[in-house]
Every structure is written in structure tokens, then in C-alpha cells.
Amino acid sequence: MTTGQKLEIRRYSGNPLLVPRDVEPSFPDWEVIGVFNAGVAEYQGEIILLLRVAERPRQSEQGSLLVPVLAGEDGGNACPAARAELREIRRIPGRAANGDGGNSAPPAIAVMQLDRNDPALDFRDPRVVRDRSGKTVCLTSISRFHIARSRDGVNFTLDPGPGVWPEGAYESWGIEDPRVTPLDGRYWITYSAVSDKGVAVGMMSTADFAEFRREGVVLAPTNKDVVLFPEKIGGSYYMLHRPVPDGIGRPDIWIARSPDLAHWGDHRLLMGVREGRWDEGRIGAGGPPIKTEAGWLVLYHGADRRDRYCMGAALLDLHRPHEVIARLDEPLLVPEADYETSGFFSGVVFSCGAVVKDGEVIMYYGASDDTMACAVFDLAPLIGRMSRPRP
Amino acid sequence: MTTGQKLEIRRYSGNPLLVPRDVEPSFPDWEVIGVFNAGVAEYQGEIILLLRVAERPRQSEQGSLLVPVLAGEDGGNACPAARAELREIRRIPGRAANGDGGNSAPPAIAVMQLDRNDPALDFRDPRVVRDRSGKTVCLTSISRFHIARSRDGVNFTLDPGPGVWPEGAYESWGIEDPRVTPLDGRYWITYSAVSDKGVAVGMMSTADFAEFRREGVVLAPTNKDVVLFPEKIGGSYYMLHRPVPDGIGRPDIWIARSPDLAHWGDHRLLMGVREGRWDEGRIGAGGPPIKTEAGWLVLYHGADRRDRYCMGAALLDLHRPHEVIARLDEPLLVPEADYETSGFFSGVVFSCGAVVKDGEVIMYYGASDDTMACAVFDLAPLIGRMSRPRP
């Protein structure tokens, strides 16, 4: 590696790679509103994006909002605080073929109708409905996963079929923001399992990106942005995670250790938000850490107080991953392109995975919570910049 | 067991058992403001209370508040958001003799002075100082553990010495609300490890209540009220825990599983708060579940929206502890005695442990966040009431 190269991040000229209209909605009268924040894997010579697809019924009446949630046949209790009215029940597409891991999955989707004039509800955030105390009572869409495949890393073909639908009580509001890590012959997917019980961390695994096995809830709410290290270190598995503390503490990145991927302990604060800077509001790991000679490269997102999400970078010690060697002062990628500065939730670049080829990092990312894009940079100058001792 | 007995809870006539003046402060110019929320164990024929002792410098100036935090010699950064002034540094009493588990413990206590007229700070809650956004910037006291011993269960003698002081970065604001569980020849203590990083769950262990070994942070913030089951079930260890979700979800009781006590997974929601009732605000397990023929008895606290804390009871399946067999409608114990309805934080009964003798449960509890009390009830009628099928 040479450190003389300039660090320059190059957006792919064909961005965005995928947009909502590229994905068929689950029902003819639904709309896909986002295809974004994909986990990334290399499998059988292809690059796989495990896309987050957010969809909902097309909205017809101006004074109301239709929101989908998983529910029992009676539609009961999936969205208890929203004072919503059950409009209809739909069967989940392809449920039987979904590689169900033995959970007693609710068999249906309930479409709930909320009154936009309800003075108890707050509809200002396009992503969620809140009550007057700021508590989220439901989401405005439901997210599932869908696979796209590519040989060249930029032209993607979507798999047919319904994709991976949420299932069970911890996923009744959707599954979001997957990260994919190859370990011990399987691919391990950590994701946000969202329900009225909170935002927990779910895990599923697959050997072939066709059958997916649920591995349970690995961290209790509220926690997000879990990435696994792609190999054991000193005999243990490691993850980065991002609790959202209540009352005391900040949304910082923590590290934890496991003997078996299923059970986690030895939690330590790894790195925190930085007051007054681009990552002052919250931070969270992007994809699985990338092994380099200089250390584990962590691409992470940081949001400021206005919810502008940028991507940044940090370097962790190879053998003691709870030690931060260096952290880039400035962001690596800032929302600037039009697909990053306008969209469903504007001003967001949010990566859940990357691929390294010949010293070049292809970082895939969701833009404005509705499309997928990618950007490329050389590894060597980034590592070179971060190999200085920590200030 | 007979179910004909009446369920009646009898407060000990000599309550409170222990009050702040029974405990020597760590320094002559400090005051103990609370001795409460003790973990309970039986050891060598004695009942041991692992007391939470909250103390602070005696307050001299009306316009300011002196608060203690663990810190480095420079007092740096232990209370960063409080805009506090460092007043003095004290050595932790008996640190060398404290059975330090090899952590690089901050060597000192910093006494910080806060300005009560600072318009950015909110001093209304006697327990904490908040900023205007409701974020806690520091506590008003620091808690450590101290041991009291008794042959008869009601007359307690305090151990000499400094007790168990907080140590390390995750305990810089104190250690609180211990629960003690005998397992595999040691006593395992789960507790709130409080610092500016959040309220995490710490674990320590002891074989003799003299030497204590830190076992690390077992759950990330925000989480509290962790109790371990006193034996393995189906080859696994189990705990109850109480995450405090942010944005979505409520402060409900969850259950988790472990192969080794150090690493935890398979998190499931066990039982939730009950809207409009005495346990509508938050709930959390009391002491370690008590094994009965009918199931695991869980004594738990529930608070309403006005922060009145009562004790209640639930029964879990013996072999499948994630199944709630029954839950008492009404509380078991309500703050009614004068030491429960007035004090440092009034209207609180909060148990962290109990002892069962000859079919009688002696439930120890903190009252009004400042004293220790106990109450007695017969196990049979309580179990009888809860053995009905779940409504």
C-alpha cells in the first residue's frame, strides 16, 4: 500500500442503482416507496444486495393514512396505540415458501386506517406516526427484504417472488437495514426487528440466499446498526451495536463479544458522538468491518442534530477491536447529489455494506431513504490518513 | 400447600430495619441519604443484605449543589454535561483492599459543584439533575454497596469498612439496586452500573461476601432490574431484564437465556405494563424468581404514571419460564406506612430480594428510596390465587 494517493470518493455515474419503481409491490394496489439500506454479500461470483423494500397501500383518501402491519387473522393489537381502524386483512405473499424457522408467524397483514385529523397524532415525520408525547405509535410503511444480484456490481437484477417478509411478534412493523456477514460457511444477517415492542436486533442466516432461517432476537430494544466482524478474534465473535439509551447516555457505538453468535456479553463503549460536529447526533456502524493490514476499517454513519446523515470512517486494532486506532475528522461522504438531498427522507447517505476489489472499496448506500447508490474509493489513502496516532 | 389461607401481607412491626443514620458516611463531612434496595442472600446461617448506600457531601451553600462522581486524578470528564466546577478530589476509601478485578479503576472521587441558579439545569427531581431537554446530566449522590448481616432476619449488623465502591468507567456515577443469586458455588450480583454512558447492567460475583470480582457489563444501556434464575432450566441460565426502549416500546419485563452467565441472547418480551393500572408506567423484577411447585414466583415492582411504586406478583412456567401462568391483578404491597409514603423519594416500595422460610416469604424492600423494610406473607395463598388459568 502507498499512502501518497489522494483520498477521493467517486459516486457511480449511473446512480441511483435502484429506485422504488424497479421493485414490484407485493399487491397491485400497493406502492413501493423505498428500496434502500441494503446489506451486501459476495456469493457465487455475484454481488448480492439484500435490499430493504418499504411499501404500503396506495393512499386514496386525503384525510386518512393507510398503514400495513403484521397481525393475526383478527387484525388485533398490532398497532395498539394508533387509534386505528382495521380496513382489511391480506395474506402475506408466498408465506408457505418463505423458509419459516418454526416461528408461529402471524398469517396476515392488517391494513389500518388512521385519521390524519386526529389531534392526538403527529404526522409530520414521513416515516412514522407519533403521539403528542413523541412516542411512535406506528410506521407509515412496512419493510421486507428483497434480493438483487449483479455480476459487475452496478447492474442489478431483482429476484422474482415475494422476498423475505417479516414474521412473528418482534417483526410486526417490519424488518429493516440488514447487514450480511459470511462466517463459518453461512451468511449471518443482523437487522432491525421492529414492532410495538420496540426496535430490537434480529438475526437470520442463510447458506444460499434462497432459504432464510430465523435465529431469534439477539439484542433487546432499543438497539440498531449491528454488524458482525467477519472472523473470530482471539477465539470470540465480535459485533458492533448501537444502543439508544434513555435518560442518560447517547446513541454511541458499542462493541460486544460472543462465543457462538447467539449470546452476547462484555459490552463496551467503542466510540461516541462528537459534540458540535457532523456526527454529533447519533452514529452507527455501516457494514461488517473490513480487515486491512492497519486494522479493522469501520465505515459508519453519523447524523447531526438536523438528521443529516453522512458516512465516516474509523480504524480499530486488529487484535483488540475495542481499541480505536483512528477516526476520520471529516465525513467520507456527505449528501450532495440530488438523489441524496431530495427524496422520502432527504439528506441521508446510509451504508449497510461494501465490497473490496483490488484495493478499491465499493460502498453501497441508501440515499434519502428511498434509493440505492454506490461510491468507490481507494483503500490505501484512507488507511494512510487514519494510520496516524489518535489525537 | 393449601389454598384456603387468606393472602395477607404483614409489615414487620420494627420497620424500618435500617435507616441512613445506621450507616457511617465514607467521609466525616459527607452524609448518607439512603440505605435501600438491598440484594438478599443466605450465607453461613445468616441473612445478608447487600445494601445500596447513597451518599454525598453535606451541602453547605444554598445556591449550589455538591455532587460526587468517580474520576481520574484531574477530575476530568466524569460529568461532562453538568457545567460543573471541580471542587475537590478524594481518594476512594480502602480502594486497595477492595478485591479489584483488575480493572483500571479511576483512583478518586471528584466533588463537583453545580450552580442551582443555572437556567440550563433542572433540579426538581431529588435524585438527578436534568438539562432542559430532560436528559440526566448527573445524579445528586453516589451509590455503593454495603453488607449487613442478621441471624434472625430483622436485626442487622453492618460490616466494618468501606463496602463495595463503584469502579471503572461504567460505574462513575455509582452502582445501584443489586440482586444476588447463588449459582454454581458462587453468588452472582447483577446491578445498575451508572455513568454518563448510560444505565448498563453490571455483574460481579463473590464466594464469601468479602472479595468481589467484576464480571463486566452483561447488558448495554438502557437496562435495569436484572435477576437471575437460581438454577439452570433445560441446560440454560435465564435472566429477567427490563430494557427502557426509546421511541417505540415500553418499560416491560423481558427474559433472556445464556450458556455461561456472561453472554445473553434469545430475548423475549415476558410481560408488559398494564394500561390504566397500578403497573402502567414501568415494571421490573424484584429478586431472583422463587421456585414453587406451581411455577417460578416473580415478585416485581410496578410504577404508575405518578411514580408510585408498588410490589406485585406473577407466576412463570417451571420448565418454560418465558410463559406467564398468572399475574396478580392487584398489588401485593402498596406504599402506605409512613416510611413508605414520605422520605427521599416518597411513595416507593421496591424489593430486590426475599427469603423463604417454612412456607413464609420474607420480602425485603427499600422504602421511599431511603430506608430498608421487610414484610412477610404466606406462600400458599399467594400461589393459590395465581394458579387459576390466565384471564
Which residues lie below 8 Å from residue B359, measured CB to CB, with a gap of 6+? B1, B378, B379, B380
Please state the separation of Cα B379 from the chain's center in Å: 23
Q: Which chain B positions have a beta carbon within 8 Å of A135's beta carbon?
A: 247-248
Inter-CA distances, A117 with A138, A276, B61, Å: 16, 37, 52
pLDDT confidence of residue B2:
46
Q: Which chain A positions have a beta carbon within 8 Å of B260's beta carbon?
A: 259, 263
Question: What value does the mean pLDDT take over residues B59-72?
Answer: 89
Residue B247 confidence (pLDDT) above 80: yes
* Chain B residue closest in CA terms to A216: B266
A238 neighbors A285 (Cβ within 8 angstroms):
no
Q: How confident is the model at residue B96 (pLDDT cuts 50, 70, 90)?
A: low
Which residues lie below 8 Å from residue B184, measured CB to CB, with a gap of 6+? none
- Tens of pLDDT, residue by residue over A146-177, are 999 999 999 999 999 999 999 999 999 999 99
Q: Report the SS3 class of residue A188.
A: strand
Gap between the Cα atoms of A387 and B47, Å rounded:
56
| Higher-pLDDT residue of B244, B97 | B244
User: What is the number of other CB atoms lying within 10 angstroms of the CB of residue B208?
Assistant: 11
Gap between the Cα atoms of B112 and B75, Å rounded:
9
A107 neighbors A72 (Cβ within 8 angstroms):
yes
Q: How confident is the model at residue A107 (pLDDT cuts 50, 70, 90)?
A: low
DSSP string over B121-176: EE--STTEEEETTS-EEEESSEEEEEEEEESSSSS-EEPSS--B---SGGGTTEEE
- Tens of pLDDT, residue by residue over A43-54, are 999 999 999 999
> CB A264 to CB B267 under 8 A?
no
User: What is the number of other CB atoms lying within 10 angstroms of the CB of residue B365?
Assistant: 31
Q: Which of A219, A222, A252 sits opposite B267 (nearest CB)?
A: A219
pLDDT confidence of residue B372:
98
Q: Which of A198, A216, A259 sits opposite B266 (nearest CB)?
A: A216
Amino acid at B269: L
B281 neighbors B347 (Cβ within 8 angstroms):
no
* Chain A residue closest in CA terms to B255: A220
Task: Put the strands of the sheet holding A136-139 in their side by side order.
Answer: A121-122, A128-131, A136-139
Q: How confident is the model at residue A76 (pLDDT cuts 50, 70, 90)?
A: low
The residues on B that touch A, with CB distances below 8 Å, are: 134-136, 169-170, 173, 194-200, 216-223, 241, 243-249, 252, 254, 256-260, 262-269
> CB A248 to CB B196 under 8 A?
yes
Residue B77 confidence (pLDDT) above 90: no
pLDDT confidence of residue A84:
84
- Tens of pLDDT, residue by residue over A341-368, are 999 999 999 999 999 999 999 999 999 9
Average pLDDT of chain A is 92
The whole-angstrom distance between A265's CA and the closest CA on chain B is 4
The residues on A that touch B, with CB distances below 8 Å, are: 134-136, 169-170, 173, 194-200, 216-223, 241, 243-249, 252, 254, 256-260, 262-269
Gap between the Cα atoms of A325 and A328, Å rounded:
10
Partners of B352 in the β-ladder: B39
Q: Report the SS3 class of residue A144.
A: strand
C-alpha cell read off for A224: 440498531
pLDDT confidence of residue A95:
67
Cis peptide before B391 (omega within 30 of 0): no
B252 neighbors B260 (Cβ within 8 angstroms):
no
> CB A248 to CB B222 under 8 A?
yes
Please choose, from the candidates A253, A267, A271, the residue with its C-alpha nearest in 3D space to the C-alpha of residue A325: A271
Q: What is the pTM of this model?
A: 0.94
Partners of B142 in the β-ladder: B55
pLDDT confidence of residue B100:
46
> CB A247 to CB B134 under 8 A?
yes
Q: How confident is the model at residue A98 (pLDDT cuts 50, 70, 90)?
A: very low
Q: Which chain B positions have a beta carbon within 8 Å of A134's beta carbon?
A: 247
Q: Which of B197, B247, B268 sits opposite A269 (nearest CB)?
A: B197
User: What is the number of other CB atoms lying within 10 angstroms of the CB of residue B54?
Assistant: 26
Residue B73 confidence (pLDDT) above 60: no
Q: How confident is the model at residue B163 (pLDDT cuts 50, 70, 90)?
A: very high
Q: Which chain B positions have a beta carbon within 8 Å of A249's beta carbon?
A: 196-199, 221-222
- Tens of pLDDT, residue by residue over A24-70, are 999 999 999 999 999 999 999 999 999 999 999 999 888 999 999 99
* Chain A residue closest in CA terms to B196: A249
- Tens of pLDDT, residue by residue over B338-378, are 999 999 999 999 999 999 999 999 999 999 999 999 999 99
* Chain A residue closest in CA terms to B257: A263
Residue appearing with cell numbers 393472602? B7
Residue appearing with cell numbers 417490519? A174
Residue B107 CA neighbour count, 13 Å, CB half: 3
Gap between the Cα atoms of B331 and B219, Å rounded:
29
> CB A197 to CB B222 under 8 A?
no
Q: Which chain A positions have a beta carbon within 8 Å of B221's beta carbon?
A: 243, 245-246, 248-249
Q: Which of A244, A259, A269 sits opposite B246 (nearest CB)?
A: A244
Q: Which of A169, A170, A245 sits opposite B222 (nearest CB)?
A: A245
> CB B267 to CB A217 under 8 A?
yes
Residue A105 confidence (pLDDT) above 80: no
A138 neighbors A128 (Cβ within 8 angstroms):
yes
